[in-house]
Each structure stands twice: as C-alpha cells, then as structure tokens.
Amino acid sequence: MTTTGVDKKELEFPKLADQDGQVHRKASTFRSSISSDPNSEFPAEKDRYVVYINLGCPWAHRVNILLHLKGLTSIIPIIVADCQLVPNGWSFTGDDGSATADPLYGFKHLRDLYLKADPEYTGRYTVPCLWDKKKETVVNNESSEILRMLYTEFDAFVPEDRRESVRPLFPKHLQKEIEEMNEWVYDTVNNGVYKVGFATTQAAYEEHLHTLFASLDRLEEHLEQPGHSPFLFGHHITEADIRLFTTLIRFDVAYVTIFKCNLKMIRYDYPRLHDWLRKVYWDEGEESNGGAFQKTTYFDIIKKGYVLASKAPNAIIPAGPLHAILPL
Ligand SMILES: N[C@@H](CCC(=O)N[C@@H](CS)C(=O)NCC(=O)O)C(=O)O
C-alpha cells in the first residue's frame, strides 16, 4: 500500500492534555459485550458485527492483529478509516487504506456512527469501534475488552487449531501474571508514550519519560528470566505480546522522534526487547498464523498519523530510521 503525503486537510487534533499539561485518558463509553450465549443481548454471530479501525492507531492495531491471528477476518470484517484526524473525527477518504465511504451507511465520518448509536453522545469518536449491524449500535469501543471478547466468545467460528481451548492467548496458569503485566504496561508504556508525546509542560514530559524508560528496563529484565522467551510468557504468543507489540513496533520509527521518547532506542539499547520485537514481527509460522503482526503493520501510515496528531508545524514525516525494523 502506498502512503499519500500530508496534504494538510483540516489539521486539527482534539487536545489530549488537560490544563495541567498532563494526558488524562478518558474511559471509553460503550462497554457492552458480545457473548457466545445465543440468548444474550449481543450473541456471537457471523456477518453481524464489523470493527472500525485506522492503520496508524496502536489500540485499533490490537484488534486487527487478533482478527488475523484467529482467522476471524471473514466473520468480523474490518472497515478502515483515514489515519488523519479532522475536526469531525476519523473520516473515510480512500487514502492510506481507508474506505472511500462507510460501507454500511455511506457516512463520511466515524462520528456519524457514534451519533447513530446515541444522538446524545458527547464523548470522543475513537477507534477501534465494534459495531452491531443488527441493533445498529456501538457494542464496545475499548480495545482491551474488544480484544478479549473476540478471542473468548467467537471460538465456534475460529478454525479448530486456533481456538482458545487449543492455543490460548490467555492460558489459565498465566492469567494472574498477564493481568499484572497488563496493568503497568498499559499505564506506563501503551499510554505512557502518549503521556510523554502530548505533554504540554516540561515537567509533565520529563516525569512520564523517565517512568516510560523505567518500564522498558523492567520489560528487558522480564525477558531475561527463565520461561520468558522467545515470547513474553514462553513458547506461545499471549495477549500480553499483542498489547506490547503495538506500542513497541511504533517506538523507534515514531515515538523516539515524534513523541520525543528519545532516551534510548529499542534496537540499540534493549537487546532482549529487540529480539522479542523482531521475532514477533517476522514470524510467519503457526504462532502468528502466517504473519498476523507483519501483515497488519504499516510503518508509513503510523508515522504520518503521529506527525499530524502531534501538530508538528511543518507536518514533515521523518524519513528514518533507514530500516523500520531490522532483520532477525
Ligand atoms: N482506550 C481506548 C483508546 C482508543 C483511542 O484513543 N484511539 C485513538 C486513536 S489512536 C482515537 O480514536 N482518537 C480520536 C480522539 O480521541 O478523538 C482503547 O484502547 O480502545
């Protein structure tokens, strides 16, 4: 896919930082669940749900990876919006992998779907956004919950060898450890890069920068411990790998330069994290169902999305690093 340059459509990004210069991410609003129970409010069905994403967003990337990993892309189709945020939110433009219009209603903006679901809605129009075609509403717009419900509730639609019962992303004996890691990785790494990149005071920037790198050091130490390679919790990919991957694959190419997360780089300063990242990215075997991570990563779109989001005055997309990811 080719990326278009920045044409400076209406460059306006809703402010993430509050008055105190800090990013306080608001909780997602739609929090219903799909269930494998056919009598539930949102039962798992084929051709009933779609998920809206864009190809730059790390939260949406989690869901894109999951659908590829579980072989669910024909059960829950993905609808891609432009990676460039305009005042009315994400739009469908035909650029950078985006649909030219929303295929369900012909809408030009994701906002229109949120308002169709709830005309009184005043929250942000975020991706990922899981939509129910039957009830014509947003089921859920919180990536961590979408991720989990898609791999637990759709097992009947997943090819047998990829089901949770056979190849779990959240194995019973690791659940406590994965939950614990999710908590600090979310706060200081996944969301941490945003707290650094969108800080509007020097103090907020520095505070979160050091917290972020302390957590990367902690992840490097985690990978040194027995049973923590090649993936975070051993020989198989788990939910924790998906959640960390979408942040770390953006690190050297976008966060270091555009978000000024620049104390260190993954490729030069974190040998174990670098091995882990390359292993996950380049895997084309069974663990990744033939390359789910690589196939869903669009480096040029990621860089472009962040340049626009950070309101860099000249909107120039950094060309480097020379290799977005190094070979194994
Ligand atoms: N907690 C949410 C965050 C999602 C989110 O913030 N997505 C960004 C894109 S990376 C978005 O849609 N932002 C639009 C806005 O805030 O107006 C999740 O994990 O799903």
* DSSP for residue 53: E
Q: Give the per-residue pLDDT at 17.
A: 75
Tell whether 310 is covered by a domain. no
Q: Tell me, what's the ipTM?
A: 0.99
- What global pTM score does this model have? 0.94
Q: Give the per-residue pLDDT at 321.
A: 95
Give the torsion sign (CA, 38, 41, 129, 208).
negative
Q: Residue 282 sits in a domain of what CATH number?
A: 1.20.1050.10
User: Over 60: is that where the pLDDT of 10 sits?
Assistant: no
Q: Give the per-residue pLDDT at 24.
A: 77
pLDDT in tens, 101-116: 999 999 999 999 999 9
Q: Give the per-residue pLDDT at 8.
A: 45
Percent of the chain predicted with pLDDT > 90: 87
97: left (phi over 0), alpha (psi -120 to 50) or beta: left
User: Over 80: is that where the pLDDT of 42 sits?
Assistant: yes
Q: Give the per-residue pLDDT at 27.
A: 76
Q: Is 57 labeled as catalytic in the residue annotation? A: yes
At 23, the pLDDT band (50, 70, 90 cuts) reads confident
Tell whether 189 is covered by a domain. yes
Tokens describing residue 158: 């997943």
Tell whether 185 is covered by a domain. yes
Mean pLDDT of the chain: 93
User: Over 60: is that where the pLDDT of 35 sits?
Assistant: yes
Q: How far is the CA of 125 from the centre of ligand 1 (A)?
A: 8
> Which residue in 48, 92, 60 sits closest to 298, CA to CA?
60
pLDDT in tens, 58-90: 999 999 999 999 999 999 999 999 999 888 899
Tell whether 208 is covered by a domain. yes
User: Over 50: is that where the pLDDT of 11 sits?
Assistant: no
Q: Give the per-residue pLDDT at 18.
A: 77
The verdict on whether residue 125 carries a ligand-binding annotation is yes
Identify the H or E element spanning 64: helix 58-69
pLDDT in tens, 253-299: 999 999 999 999 999 999 999 999 999 999 999 999 999 999 999 99
User: Over 80: is that where the pLDDT of 312 sits?
Assistant: no
Tell whether 247 is covered by a domain. yes
Which has more pLDDT, 85 or 181? Answer: 181
Q: What is the DSSP string of 213-271?
A: HHHHHHHHHHHHSTT--SBTTBSS--HHHHHHHHHHTTIIIIITTTS---S--HHHH-H
Nearest CA to ligand 1 atom 6: 126
Tell whether 212 is covered by a domain. yes
Q: How far is the CA of 142 from the centre of ligand 1 (A)?
A: 8
Domain count, the chain: 1
Give the torsion sign (CA, 80, 83, 86, 87).
positive
Q: Is 57 in the pocket of ligand 1 (CB under 6 A)?
A: yes
The verdict on whether residue 142 carries a ligand-binding annotation is yes
Q: Give the per-residue pLDDT at 260.
A: 96
Q: Is 48 in the pocket of ligand 1 (CB under 6 A)?
A: no
Tell whether 69 is covered by a domain. no
Determine the structural domain holding residue 269 and report its residue range.
Answer: 172-289
Tell whether 201 is covered by a domain. yes
pLDDT in tens, 130-179: 999 999 999 999 999 999 999 999 999 999 999 999 999 999 999 999 99
User: Over 90: is that where the pLDDT of 314 sits?
Assistant: no
